[in-house]
Amino acid sequence: MIMDTILVVNSGSSSLKFQLFGIAGPSTLKRLVKGQVDGIGTQPRLRVRGSDDATLIDRIYEPEAVRDVSVAIGIAASWLKETQEPAPVAVGHRVVHGGPEYDRPVLVDDRVLANLARLSSLAPLHQPHNLAPIGTFLARFPKLPQVACFDTAFHRGHDPIVDHYAIPERLYAQGIRRYGFHGLSYEYVAERLREVVPDAAKGRVVIAHLGSGASLCAVREGRSIDSTLGFTALDGLPMGTRPGQLDPGVVLHLLSEQGMTVTEVQNLLYRGCGLKGLSGISNDVRTLEASSDPRAALALDHFVYRVGLHAGMMAAALGGIDSFVFTAGIGENAAKLRAQITERLAWLGAVLDSEANAAHSQEISSRESRIGLYVIPTDEELMIARHTVELLRRGT
Q: Which residues are catalytic?
A: 151
Three-class secondary structure of residue 52 per DSSP: coil
Helix (H) or strand (E) holding 140: helix 127-140
CA dihedral 187, 188, 189, 190 (to 10 degrees): 50
CA distances from 23 to 88, 104, 237 (A): 10, 21, 37
Instruction: List Cβ neighbours of 139 (8 Å cut-off, separation of 6 or more).
Output: none
Contact present, 244 and 274 (Cβ < 8 Å): yes
Contact present, 225 and 318 (Cβ < 8 Å): yes
Contact present, 363 and 357 (Cβ < 8 Å): no
Tell me how many degrees the CA angle 380-13-392 measures, rounded to the nearest 5: 40
Ordered alpha helix ranges (H), 257-368: 262-271, 274-279, 285-290, 294-318, 328-333, 335-344, 354-358
Look up residue 327 and give its amino acid: T
Closest C-alpha to 207, from 233, 184, 230, 240: 184
